[in-house]
Amino acid sequence: MTLCIKRASKSLATISPLSLTWKLRFLFPFSFSLLHSCPSPTPTSPLEPSSSETHYKNLIFNTIDEKPWAFCNTNWVSNQFHAIIVDPHLFIKVLNLMRERPGVALRFFRWVEMQPGVKRSELVFSVMLDILVENNLMRSAYWVMERVITFDMHSIADVLICGYRKFEVSVKLLDLLLLIYSKKLMVDHCLWIFGKMVRNGLLPDVKNCNRILAMLRDKSLVANARDVYRMMKEFGIKPTIVTYNTMLDSFCKEGDMQKAFELLSEMQMERRFPNEVTYNVLINGLT
């Protein structure tokens, strides 16, 4: 199957199930859906906030309350947060305690990201993205997701698929990842994440599907476009007139007018009536 793209980058699938379980507990200590299948935490469990992360949360909040310009840029320096910069697990726990103030959490995240020696982790980025989406801060989430791609942390998809209880958050974040991949014309990544989403019941927005189809058409990858279209229908993503027009254009540019007219008949059966774009595509295909 052409959509099954094997990634050379590291994947969370290579981590032992027990290790992944505990790492995801760090991510969402109050909403992790797998908790019921895991042993009850001991009194020293990382699920319980320790004095360390509580100390850092209060220190961050107090610092910003006293110095509103704190963490605004790389010129602002403090050695008090070095432990967070070099320890992703501590950073995750501190971010989780900062959910009540998402703007502060984002400002601190940006500042840490710019610090020398920072240790990046898909899990840290996932927590920050979760906080932003929960508060509908999608523009900021877009910035964070772009950095995920910049640093080749593509296995974040595994965390987004298996680490959430809130279905809608997972879909929004995976759709955002798919949107950025499509805008950057990253064909293999688009096909990879599309396949992962539909096979796990996390259906992409049809607009993202249309973007993928348009990208495949423009790159003359009609076979891939057919696979995406077939999977859309198989998994219940309802095509729009844009979907049909894009597929018609793909068939016409390949000179496969039989497929084009078959799709036109399918449109009519689905009561998706041709528009001006449809007729222009067919005329161009026949000339």
Q: Is residue 223 part of a domain?
A: no
Contact in structure between 127 and 169 (CB atoms under 8 Å)? no
CA triplet 160, 95, 124: central angle to 5 degrees?
40
Residue 177 lies in a domain: no
Question: Is pLDDT of 20 > 80?
Answer: no
The pLDDT, as a whole number, for residue 47 is 47
Contact (Cβ atoms closer than 8 angstroms) between residue 282 and residue 250: no
pLDDT of residue 37: 33
Q: Average pLDDT of 194-200? A: 95
Task: Kindly state whether residue 188 falls inside one of the protein's structural domains.
Answer: no
Contact 230, 259 (CB under 8 A): no
Mean pLDDT of 153-167: 84
Residue 138 has pLDDT above 90, yes or no: yes
Q: Which amino acid is at 73?
A: N
33: pLDDT strictly greater than 70: no
**Residue 244 in this model has a pLDDT that exceeds 60:** yes
| Amino acid 48: pLDDT | 55
Please tell me the distance from the alpha carbon of residue 268 to that of residue 104, in angstroms, as a whole number. 52
Q: Is the pLDDT of residue 4 over 70?
A: no
Give domain status of residue 94, yes or no: yes
- H-run or E-run covering 202: none
Determine, yes or no, domain membership for 196: no
pLDDT at position 144 is 97
- Note the pLDDT of residue 9: 38
CA 245, CA 228: separation in Å to the nearest integer? Answer: 15
Cα–Cα distance for residue pair 177/171, rounded to 1 Å: 10
Q: What is the mean pLDDT of the chain?
A: 85
Instruction: Look up residue 210 and give its amino acid.
Output: N
Q: Is residue 150 part of a domain?
A: yes
Identify the domain containing residue 120 by its residue range. Answer: 15-36+48-165
| Helices and strands, counts by H and E, the chain | 15, 0
On whether residue 202 sits in a domain, the answer given is: no
pLDDT digits (tens, 9 = 90+) for 50-103: 678 999 999 999 999 999 999 988 788 888 999 999 999 999 999 999 999 999
**pTM to 2 decimals?**
0.81
Stretch 164-187: mean pLDDT, rounded?
92
In Å, the largest CA–CA distance within the chain is 75
DSSP assignment string, 223-252: HHHHHHHHHHHHTT----HHHHHHHHHHHH
Q: What is the pLDDT of residue 22?
A: 47
Residue with token string 């379980």:
21
Whether 160 is covered by a domain: the verdict is yes
The percentage of residues in the chain with a pLDDT greater than 70, rounded to a whole number, is 82
User: pLDDT tier at 251 (50, 70, 90 boundaries)?
Assistant: very high
The tokens for 155 are 């296995």
**What pLDDT is attached to residue 39?**
35
pLDDT, average across residues 255-261: 92
Residue 286 is predicted with a pLDDT of 87
Provide the number of structural domains found in the chain.
1
Share of the chain above pLDDT 90, in %: 71
**φ and ψ at residue 147, rounded to 5 degrees:** -70, -35
